[in-house]
Structure 1
Amino acid sequence: MSTPSDPVTRDASPVPFAGPRVSLYSDEFAADPLRAYGEMRSRYGSLVPVELAPGVPATLVVGYRAALRILNDPDHFPSDPRIWQQSVSADCPVLPVLQWRPAAPRNSGADHERYRGATTSALDGVNLHALQGVVERTAVSLINTFCSRGSADLVGEYAAPLAFEIVNAILGCPPQISRKAAAATAAIFDGVDAGEANRMFDEAVLELVRLKHTEPGDDITTRLWRDAGRFDEFEMMHQVLALYGVGMGPLPGLVINSLRLILSDDRFGEGVLGGAKSTRDAVDEVLFTDPPLPNASVTYPRHPVLIDGTWLPAHQPVVISLTGCNNDPDIGGGYRAGNRAHLAWGAGPHACPAKSLAYLIAQSAVEQLLDALPEVELAVAADELIWRPGALHRTLAELPVVFPPSPPLNIP
């Protein structure tokens, strides 16, 4: 007999969903996802038929309790996408993000434990006090490039380069390799020959991996090498690539979304600057309502599985909507001060292992900017800000601000 924590499975495939699926890649969805999640829940319940890209079906989980069941059941819901990716075209726009790699997020079982254990150990070796100093120096150096101008785009001129520099620092990436990775990253985001740009980026990361094999240091890449025989060179490259992926996507997104909240919401703008609320309060509000990875923790059922009265097809993506689940009315919905029970860091065996580092970097980056430019404000109305479309991220294309020009700061 099945129980609520034991999903029903069967060998035969259920009848495919026949109705229209909700698009997660439209501009309309990107503009107001909270409204969209509410409408999905009203129409479908906790499990929603969606498209991640044209012709790419998936199930989006917007129920908090259903999400926890799935996240804590890797036997029924493994994260290995290899069977699924055989069914999509090579030019599928979400394939580069979801495709299999020899790293913890895209593996299950013993391979996941091996990759996850090494990554966690390497991250745990980061000196948080030293990292705080790196963030502060990097932030001030970037602020100095635009503080005398009186205006800036905090996406392209602050959050993105700051996150990239911090990730390079903790990976032990020297400037000559960092410049190659930065050029490849710029080409990727500009859409200039994405295939060639990805090849350039892989080459830069491989160069870093080889360097740290012969010239070790006090950094994550060296610690990943430390267990002799644990990884081959290809696996090592993908451990580092996975960390770069976090640094170039969710991390700057968390900084930007937190700054947007503080600059557009009086509860936090006046509260943080006046001392009534902490930067951590603003960051946690974002993690509840507007996390940079709104739809993540993708799994692929080995067999058709029945959850909450809905059959989930075998090998079709099941995507946890972290934002939708955090705002599920069944658990109260919305943010409550001091409550950090959101799913933005995931749950179960694939929960984010870099949580403490991400909190430190995001909080420090926000605080440095507000301390240096206390009169900063949005250059446009909050509802005129443009969100980048996409099913798997939630971030602004730009965050234009203005402030009274000020002289450069002393770098600590």
Structure 2
Amino acid sequence: MCGYLAVTYPAALHLLRNNPAIFSKDPAHWQALRLGHVPLDSPALMMMQPRDNALWKDGPAHTRLRRAITNAVTQVDTHKLAASVIQIADQLIDAFSHTGQADLVAQYSDPLPMLAVIGMFGCSQDEGRNIVSLVTRLFDGSDPEQANRDLEAACLQLTRAKRDAPGRDVASHLIEADLTDEEMVQTIILVIGAAAPPTSNLIGNGIRRVLTDPSFAGSVHDGVRPVSDALDEVLWDNPPVPNYSPLYAIGPQSYEGVLLPPGEPILVSFAAANSDPALAVDPSARAGNKGHLAFSAGAHACPAPDLARLIAETALGRLLDRLPDVDLAVPSAELHNRPGTFLAGLTALPVRFQPEARLIPHGR
């Protein structure tokens, strides 16, 4: 079993912008999968297998399923979402602010987007936590076969609950697009998978950037540079999803003298493409520059990058407002990234700060 990895910025754009003309997203083209050569417990299988959602479709099928997603997410009230993120942030910070120390991955950046997405889908916290934790297990490659079975069962349960009692939420809006149960299950997996774990990593890496990069640490706290600058830097040089978006050549193709045979997956390394030495973007000019590929490009680009940015910026800004003296509790070299190919996030982010007095919790 083999494949290719696009690591330059032009190569990544060539692949992404020529879908579906000469590169397909449909895993039915994956020769090793057709021949049964991909082990059932392979993390790559769970992340690249055929699913009835927009990510793995081309042409009219992709257009129909993507339209259902864009119609659903565009109905999200961004003002209410921002207010919800602030409330969630305050509740999470209230739980540890009096202690003077915390792990901002486990206690903040991981749960915050999960709770925000749960609210967008109108499901209970227990249902939402279960779905997001299973999606994260898929990304991390932790028992992916069982995680996938459990995840599909949980999303089917949510689908049936929303069919019985629809509301004004993303899941209910997807149902309005006449998606089948299977399409609903796989679309929920896609939307939550794209919204929660990557945004968790963006928040965690954004906090790390503010606390470790001298060009941000002082100025962000002083209010000279917005937190959006820190997030732009992360999206450029440490994107939350560093490698993904498998494509398949439709017939023999070549690029820059490299033969790309049909049947072999070609993954895009967003992280490598963003740091391509031939890309004339000075690191000091990345703030405000949206030319990065962290949200992909072409027909399958992220349909709602602004929602992810809103959640991340609000979460990071609220943390710095509440804990302006927060600092790392360990040397930067002792921070470690999650294992796995598809996600780039920290395993832990220990910090210390001046404890807040135990007063009436914020927002209550």
Measure the CA separation in 1 of the matches of 2:236 and 2:141: 31
Q: What is the DSSP-based 3-state SS (H/G/I as helix, E as strand, rest coil) of the residue aligned with 1:298?
A: strand
Following superposition of structure 1 onto structure 2, how do residues 8-407 of structure 1 map, counting pairs within 5 Å? 56-74=1-19, 75-84=21-30, 85-86=33-34, 87-175=37-125, 177-178=127-128, 180-181=130-131, 195-227=145-177, 230-335=178-283, 336=285, 337-407=287-357
365-374 or 317-326: which moved more?
Answer: 317-326
Report what 2:362 is aligned to.
Answer: 410
Residues 104-142 of structure 1 deviation map (CA, whole Å, 9 limit, x = unaligned): 111211211111111011011100000001100011111
Cα deviations across residues 225-251 of structure 1 (Å, max 9, x unaligned)?
Answer: 113xx3111111111111221234211
How far apart are 1:201 and its partner, in Å?
A: 2.9
**Helix, strand or coil for the counterpart of 1:410?**
coil
CA displacement at 1:410 relative to structure 2? 1.3
1-side partners of 2:278 and 2:130: how far apart? 48
**Cα distance change on mapping 1:143 and 1:284 into 2, 3 Å:** same
User: What is the root-mean-square deviation of aligned Cα atoms in Å?
Assistant: 2.1
Name the TM-score, length of structure 1 as normaliser.
0.81
Q: Is the 8 A contact 2:41 2:143 kept in 1?
A: no
State how far apart, in whole Å, the 2-side matches of 1:78 and 1:183 are. Answer: 30
Shift of 1:268: 1.0
How far residue 57 of structure 1 moved from its aligned partner, in angstroms, is: 2.4
Q: Is the 8 A contact 1:181 1:205 kept in 2?
A: yes
The 1-side partners of 2:243 and 2:135 are apart by 23
**Aligned residues of 1:205 and 1:241 also touching (Cα < 8 A):** yes
User: Any idea what SS the aligned residue of 2:2 has?
Assistant: strand
1:140-185 deviations in whole A, cap 9, x for unaligned?
Answer: 1111111111111111111111111111100111245335546756
Report how far residue 100 of structure 1 moved.
1.4
Q: How far off its partner does 1:70 sit? A: 1.3
- Structure 1: distance between partners of 2:330 and 2:126: 38
Of Structure 1 and Structure 2, which has the larger fraction of its residues in helix?
Answer: 2
State the Cα distance separating 1:275 from its structure 2 match: 1.6
Q: TM-score, normalised by structure 2?
A: 0.91
Measure the CA separation in 1 of the matches of 2:143 and 2:343: 22
Q: Mark the runs of 5 or more structure 2 residues left unpaired by the alignment.
A: none
Residues in 1 aligned to 2:204 and 2:312: alpha-carbon distance in whole angstroms: 9
Cα distance in 1 for partners of 2:235, 2:139 equals 24
Aligned pair in 2 of structure 1 residues 350, 188: CA closer, same or farther (>3 Å)?
Answer: closer
Equivalent residues of 1:81, 1:100 under 8 A apart:
yes
Q: Would you say how many aligned residue pairs link Structure 1 and Structure 2?
A: 355
8 Å contact from structure 1 (residues 259, 366) kept in 2: yes
Which residue matches 1:18? none
Q: Percent identity?
A: 37
Verify the 8 A CA contact 2:41 2:145 in the aligned structure 1.
Answer: no
Return the offset for 1:198.
3.6
Give 1:194 deviation, angstroms: 5.1
Tell me if the contact between 2:117 and 2:192 (Cα under 8 Å) persists in the aligned partners: yes
Output the CA distance in 2 between the equivalents of 1:207 and 1:177.
Answer: 9
| 1:392 CA drift (Å) | 1.7
